[in-house]
A = this chain, B = another copy of it.
Amino acid sequence: MPKAKYYKIYQNLKTKIETGEYEFQELLPSEHQLITTYDCSRNTVRRAVSALVADGYVQTMQGKGVRNIFQPTLQTSFILGGIETFRESAARNHQVPKTEVLYFAEITADQKISSRTGFAVGAELYYLQRLHYLDGKALILNHNYFLKDVAVGLTREIAENSIYEYLENVLHVSIVTSKRIMTVEKMTEIDEKYLDLGDYNCLAVISSQTYNSDGIMFEYTQSRHRPDYFRFQDNATRRSAI
C-alpha cells in the first residue's frame, strides 16, 4: 500500500465520495480549502484529485470547481485502470472465490506459442489452465503462461491459491504494467466443457501481457469469461480533437 501523502488524501476523498459525504453533482471543497484541511501543498491535492478524475469519480472545471459525478448504481465487478487479481476483485464484491487447476505443465515455446503469446521461441514456460468459480459458479477459464526464470518454483498447489501472492510476497517480483486486449471469440470445446454458456456461442476474452520491474514480459494470460457475468468498466477523458 503506497504510503505517499497524496495517496492518503486520494483515498480519504474517495471514501468520502463513496459514502455519500458529497452529493452527486455537488462541488468538492476548492483546492485552497483542501490545502488547509490536509495541511499540504497545492501540488499534492491536485495529484489526489487527478487520481479521482482517472477513476471517473469527479470532474474538474476550470474556474468553477471539482464536481462529484460518482454514481453508486454503476459500481461493478471489473474496474479498469488497475491490475487486480481474481481474489482481490472477489473480496471487493464480498464474493467467495475458488480456483481449480485443470492443467499444469512445463513447456518450451514453439513457433505457434511464440506468435500467440509474444514469448521468444525456445522460452521455458509454465503453462496452466485454471477455472475460476465465484459463489459456486464457473465464470472464467484462464490460460496462463509464465516465464520459468521469473516464476521459479511454481507448483500446482500455489496455482490453486493466488499465483500473484506467490510472485509478490515470496519471489518479490514486482508487477508493474500490463497490456490488455479485449475481444469476443467463439467458444471452444474446452470452454463448452467447463463453463455453463447456455445459449451463447461466444465468450469475452481478455488477453494480457504483464511486465515486471526489469521490463521483462513474464506472463501471458488469456482469460475467457462467461459473457452473462462479464462487465468491464472504463472512464475516459477527451484530450481535444485530432
Partner-B contacts on A (CB < 8 A): 1-2, 25, 53, 56, 59, 61, 67, 69, 71, 74, 76, 80-83, 88, 91-92, 118, 168, 175-186, 199-204, 211, 213, 215, 227-228, 230-242
Instruction: Given contacts A81-B234, A180-B234, A204-B204, list 14 more A-B pairs with CB under 8 A.
Output: A2-B240, A56-B177, A59-B176, A83-B237, A176-B238, A178-B236, A181-B234, A182-B231, A183-B230, A183-B232, A184-B184, A200-B202, A201-B202, A202-B227
Say yes or no: A76 contacts B180, CB within 8 Å. Answer: no
Known: A88-B242, A211-B59. A176 touches B237 (CB 8 A): yes
Q: How many copies, total?
A: 2
Cα distance A239–B4 in the bound complex, in angstroms: 12
The interface residues of chain B lying within 8 Å CB-to-CB of A2 are 239-240
Chain A at the B interface: mostly helix, strand, loop or mixed?
Answer: mixed
The interface residues of chain B lying within 8 Å CB-to-CB of A91 are 242
